[in-house]
Structure 1
């Protein structure tokens, strides 16, 4: 069986030298994890931000600049490919962008993309993404999908049996909410990322944290052994080539 791989991140984009957006080391690491040679095929999925055409154009430019073959899965106003499963199975990497994870999950389920993503993952295509594109693979996490006050989300795809916290260092309300939800048993053990950090999962095991920004970290948030508190363990990431 192919190895099932997910790279869940709080990063992947950076300002470009000649383009507004460039693909930062985390996206390139997702490609490396796939083992693809030649011109790797990467499908960008922008459901969480409403499939914005202008951003698809910028991602195309950024992807071609680093030797990738980009495509997009668009679901608004209808799927842009005749067979979503066939298209995604032909990719080396599926990269899911940020935005509203609640809306992403709802739209994917309407179109059966939740089921298709599991098939694609089990076939060995690397699943990856940033923010909502990180949360979605987990059992749950925290989100601003419903308004400026963060709320828990419990209905992630659940490919990974953990909760996920994104933007752990840059959005001040994220860290205390994850800690309180895990302590209360409202979320399972959570893996969290500072901006610029990614979590590599092989199967359902988190095997490595990686970073494109030096000094950043990942974290494991779990209940204490006595069940009366919460423990946050800092996980030092491996610095990726090209990190700043």
Structure 2
């Protein structure tokens, strides 16, 4: 069910330990489904269509299995777009246009971008976004929608990536409170002009965009924050945004 405006929910969360399964979808993923205008009900075979894209972690089949169980509990009709060793569907664009939500997992954003571009998925996803399918994801699955961000794709030391898809004309910082180097690296990238205005999320926080406009921050964990990092004159400033708690 397409939304009236192109919608992205960029997050540092969405998965939690399960009660009877190893993982479950947390409030941020459920919120993405709500944004699409659909709802999930356990046991409802006509639940929301959610497509998982796991390129950033190499399309790991064991993880897809864990997500299948999480989707069953949530009442989602989950599919997987795998690109290794070949696309798992005949018509990628047609498959994605049938979805309510596309959820992109974490891993290497640099590898994700390279593989997506090789398959033309960068342009396909832009058209799918403009058609109203909700785009969401965590970590690499958040940074990919922006101009760039900080990444450990090249090694343990964080560095910058500035050639992401650019659907949203900002930088993006993820895991802002849980990895000590994230904040200073983002500040440095903004200070040097590698990134412009950069939008950052603590773990458990998501940023909602309608078109390219930031509408609000939301959180599945209390006490967490989102941040706008900008260069003003000769200094870098950081403004905290208080998220709306989803519960």
Normalized against structure 1, the TM-score is what? Answer: 0.97
Q: Select the residue among 118, 124, 128 that pairs with 2:126.
A: 118
Q: CA deviation at 1:2?
A: 3.1
User: Who is 1:43 aligned against?
Assistant: 51
Q: Distance in 1 between matches of 2:149 and 2:25?
A: 25
Q: Distance in 2 between matches of 1:151 and 1:11?
A: 21
Aligned positions, number: 239
Q: Determine whether 1:89 maps to 2:91.
A: no
Q: What are the residue-to-residue correspondences of 1:224-239 with 2, within 5 Å?
A: 224=232, 227-239=233-245
Q: Distance in 2 between matches of 1:8 and 1:158?
A: 13
* 3-state secondary structure, aligned to 2:146: coil
Determine if contact 1:2/1:122 at 8 Å carries over to the other structure.
no
Q: Distance in 1 between matches of 2:168 and 2:140?
A: 14
User: Who is 1:23 aligned against?
Assistant: 25
In the alignment, structure 1 segments of 5+ residues that lack a partner are none
* 3-state secondary structure, aligned to 1:114: helix
Q: Determine whether 1:163 maps to 2:171.
A: yes
Q: Distance in 2 between matches of 1:200 and 1:2?
A: 14
* 3-state secondary structure, aligned to 2:160: strand
Q: Select the residue among 121, 140, 151 that pairs with 2:148.
A: 140
User: Who is 2:188 aligned against?
Assistant: 180
Normalized against structure 2, the TM-score is what? Answer: 0.95
Structure 1's consecutive aligned runs of 4 or more residues displaced over 2 angstroms after TM superposition are: none
User: Who is 2:4 aligned against?
Assistant: 2
User: Who is 1:102 aligned against?
Assistant: 110
Cα RMSD after superposing both structures: 0.9
Q: Distance in 1 between matches of 2:225 and 2:99?
A: 29
- The one-character-per-residue Cα deviations of 1:19-62 (angstroms, maximum 9, x if unpaired) are 00000000000000101255100000000000000000110110
